[in-house]
Structure 1
Amino acid sequence: MATFKVLLHSSNRRKDGTYPVSLRIIKNMKAKYISLGLYSKKEEWDVIGERFRCDKRVCPNYKEFNARIVQLLARAQEVERHFEFDRIDWTLNQFEDAFLYKDKKGKFLDFALLCIGKSSVSCPLKPSDSAPLC
């Protein structure tokens, strides 16, 4: 079971004075931060509610930003349910890949193993060579 929390990542201050809004995932006493693509100043952020302040004078687009946060939290819970349904003991990196829709297909190692598996060509080096490559 993991815990999810949306917070202002105050250790990553930008030049314009804003901080990234991040999703913190804690599983087995290990934490991972995933940036949600939103940025906020400290006065715009409600620490207790884990949302942008509901004040148009402070943050005029708070409704859109808060709706996006709710959407991303639902996505995080959906990914966790998917792992539990498939009985996968997932790692934080696996969660990040699934959460950010990172596709592992098309990697070189998978392609090379596929080619080697289909290949019927024997090793071109003779047994007398000192260092065979295959």
Structure 2
Amino acid sequence: MFDIKSFFKREVEKKLINVDDYIFMPERVEMEIEGGLLNCVLNSDGRVDIFYSKDGVTEVGSASRKHPFTAFEKELYHGIYDDVINDLIKEVDKIIDSTSKYFRRSQSLPFTASITSQPSDTNKF
């Protein structure tokens, strides 16, 4: 899914701080938070990708690196990306709490036909 809000936010942040002038050492920080798993990834181009998974539902957000001379973990501890993390947690909780009017847990979904591994003879030339 294409997130237009984070795209525009990222472009504005690039204008404020030109992270294209820096090459970052990729880093990953994982932690459990509010019953789910949070992964924060610093990419070498200065983009921070944040993944939040809970009960099989995953939401992804992105932000630009705010302070290129500060350690990535220190930025996380100071709450620089808390707004993005809060949005992800809210979205995942909203999805988990919602229900479909078409599909119910008490209904079993029909099995689909299996795909054979051998090609049929009709495709020969």
TM-score class, shorter-chain normalisation, is 0.3 to 0.5
Provide the TM-score with structure 1 as the length reference. Answer: 0.34
Name the larger-Rg structure. 1
Provide the TM-score with structure 2 as the length reference. Answer: 0.36
Answer 1 or 2: higher relative contact order, Cα 8 Å, separation at least 6: 2
